[in-house]
Amino acid sequence: MRDKLAINGGPKTVNKEFIWPIYDASDVNAVTEIVQSGKWGNPDCGDEVAKFEQEFADYCGSKYAITCVNGSVSLRLALIACGVKPGDEVIVPPYTFITTASSVIECNCVPIFVDIDPDTYNISPAAIEAAVTERTKAIIPVHFGGLACDMDAIMDIAKRHNFHVIEDAAHAHGAEYKGKKLGSIGDVGSFSFQSSKNLTSGEGGIVITNDDELYAMMRSLRNVGRIEGGQWYDHYNPGCNYRITQMQAVLLSQQLKRLEAQTQKRNDNGLYLNQLLSEIKGITPLSRDEAISLHCYHIYIVKYDSTAFGGLSRNDFAAMLAAEGVPSFKGYPHPLYKQPLFQNKNFMCYAIPEYVDFTQVHCPNAEQACSSDAVWILQHAMLGEKEDMEAFANAILKIQQAVS
Ligand SMILES: *Cc1c(COP(=O)(O)O)cnc(C)c1O
């Protein structure tokens, strides 16, 4: 049976190529027009940038949006604007991309890693509550894979302890929690437009907020510390040049037109795949409760149980699934605090207090997700048709039959 598997030279289950990014002549024309206009940028980015910012703010139901060079710098802008000071603590999950936590280090603050919920892979409210100290000044919940965090609980904890909430919505463009767009619920929402993300211009980022002061500060930081109504040579705040180009802005405006339909399609495919996989022993999609009014499935995640696959390791399973033609992957091999950056406290001149020791951090749920449980199917595959979801389920069944 095993020789039928694609990894051993057998036929692939899925023969389709899933394309990303998606574009047509309208995208090409929009960028070409900007190139031909010669207005590629200006000291405060230009009209096309402001136009896209307004479109994105409106789309999210937020008052303001400020673009910047990527979804890492956007976190830095948010943290500085929220007023964090050296030595302050910022609560972050360990199952996320590096910059959720390294942006905290860049602000001379201490990332406090708090475990995820094993059913959602999002930061656990009970674990947050237990980690709050008088030094806690902010939290960065990550809507992992596009699945909304428990925002009612997080906002409640933040309110009671008086700290800021910066939503890392790099995976979550267009997704919703109780009918509200992710990123629009906390003090600031941060997004990435890097090439793998659900809305992309190759690179880029944006922050959204309803707060006038946070807006003014993040806008200033993005533009080398200049202020609204100030002089070109006057710099007030510790910013840098984090501006994007007009070419990126028009491309994003074009891409944004497709986001709603794409999000709906991934959402519907995700629900269908949940239903198909509920029939397969040893494969459990992350749970999705009623608060999740729209899921954008930047990553469709399942939990793998090797006992239903004759003891086949998660890593071998993930390799077999990818070979079958399912755009999939085992995900992060370790939680963030295991990175040499944290283990060695290799923070250059940054003022992280002596007492901080990341070798003592232990988040069992994140460790289990990394070492043996998680399998990721990527967002562009979730833009396929119903038959493709059926083929993904068949690929899993084929492996199960071959190894059991
Ligand atoms: C991609 C990503 C970022 C950073 O975005 P870049 O634009 O690549 O800098 C931040 N947080 C999460 C969760 C991400 O996946």
- pLDDT above 90 (res 67): yes
- CB neighbour list of residue 124: distance below 8 Å, 6 or more residues apart: 114, 115, 116, 117, 365
205 lines ligand 1 (CB under 6 A): yes
Nearest alpha carbon, ligand 1 atom 5: 71
Q: Which of 121, 168, 158 is nearest to 288 (CA)?
A: 121
Measured between alpha carbons, how far apart are the two ends of the chain, in Å? 10
Q: How confident is the model at residue 355 (pLDDT cuts 50, 70, 90)?
A: confident
Nearest in space to 205 (alpha carbons), one of 194, 189, 217: 194
Cα(351)–Cα(63) distance, integer angstroms: 35
Q: Which of 201, 131, 205 is nearest to 161 (CA)?
A: 131
Is the pLDDT at 49 greater than 90? The verdict is: yes
Whether 169 contacts 144, CB under 8 Å:
no
Contact between residue 100 and residue 139 where contact means Cβ atoms under 8 Å apart: no
Query: Which domains does the chain carry?
Result: 2-9+257-403 (3.90.1150.10), 25-255 (3.40.640.10)
Å from CA of 59 to ligand 1 middle = 20
pLDDT at 304 over 80: yes
Q: Average pLDDT in the 199-206 region?
A: 98
How confident is the model at residue 354, as a pLDDT?
A: 84
Reported confidence tier of residue 44, pLDDT bands at 50, 70, 90: low
The stretch 299-312 carries a mean pLDDT of 98
Is the pLDDT at 395 greater than 70, yes or no?
A: yes
pLDDT at 314: 98
Give residue 353's pLDDT band: very low, low, confident or very high (50, 70, 90): confident
Q: Is 398 in the pocket of ligand 1 (CB under 6 A)?
A: no
E-only strand ranges, 20-97: 64-68, 89-92
> Which one-letter amino acid corresponds to residue 268?
D
**Contact present, 5 and 399 (Cβ < 8 Å):** yes
Residue 3 confidence class, pLDDT cut points 50, 70, 90? confident
User: What's the confidence (pLDDT) of residue 219?
Assistant: 97
- The per-residue pLDDT for 220 is 97
Band of pLDDT at residue 383, cut at 50, 70 and 90: very high
Determine the residue of 90, 168, 332 to mutate for testing ligand 1's pocket, defined as the one with the most ligand atoms within 8 A of the Cβ atom: 168
User: Ligand 1 centre and the CA of 144: distance in Å?
Assistant: 11
Q: Is the CB of 99 under 6 A from ligand 1?
A: yes
Q: Is the pLDDT of residue 316 over 90?
A: yes
pLDDT above 90 (res 348): no
Asked if residues 322 and 329 have their Cβ atoms less than 8 Å apart, the reply is yes
Q: Which pLDDT does position 239 carry in this prediction?
A: 95
What is the overall mean pLDDT for the chain? 96
Give how far the C-alpha of residue 41 lies from the chain's centroid of Cα atoms, to the nearest Å. Answer: 27
How deeply is 299 buried, as exposed, middle or buried, from its count of CB atoms within 10 A (0-12, 13-18, 19+)?
Answer: buried
Whether residue 45 has pLDDT greater than 70? no
**pLDDT band with cut points at 50, 70 and 90 for residue 98:** very high
- pLDDT for position 352: 82
The values of phi and psi at residue 269, to 5°, are -65, -40
Q: What tens digit of pLDDT does each residue of 211-235 get?
A: 999 999 999 999 999 999 999 999 9
Average pLDDT over residues 370-383: 98
Atom of ligand 1 nearest to the CA of 144: 13
pLDDT higher than threshold 80 for residue 188: yes
Who contacts 367 (Cβ-Cβ below 8 Å, separation ≥6)? 334, 335
Distances (CA, A) of 286 to 121, 156, 227, 282, 386: 8, 24, 45, 13, 20
Among 375, 283, 373, 282, CA closest to 328: 375
Catalytic residue among 4, 39, 159, 197: 197
95 residue type, one letter: Y
137 given a catalytic annotation: no
pLDDT of 349 higher than 70:
no
- In short, whether 96's Cβ falls inside 6 Å of ligand 1 is yes
**Is residue 289 scored above 80 in pLDDT?**
yes
CA distance 10 to 109: 52
What are the pLDDT digits (tens) for 101-118?
999 999 999 999 999 999
Q: In the prediction, which pLDDT does 161 show? A: 98
Number of H helices, E strands in the chain: 12, 13
Tens-place pLDDT, residues 118-153: 999 999 999 999 999 999 999 999 999 999 999 999
Distance CA 24, CA 397 (A): 36
Residue 43 confidence class, pLDDT cut points 50, 70, 90: low
pLDDT at 1 over 80: no
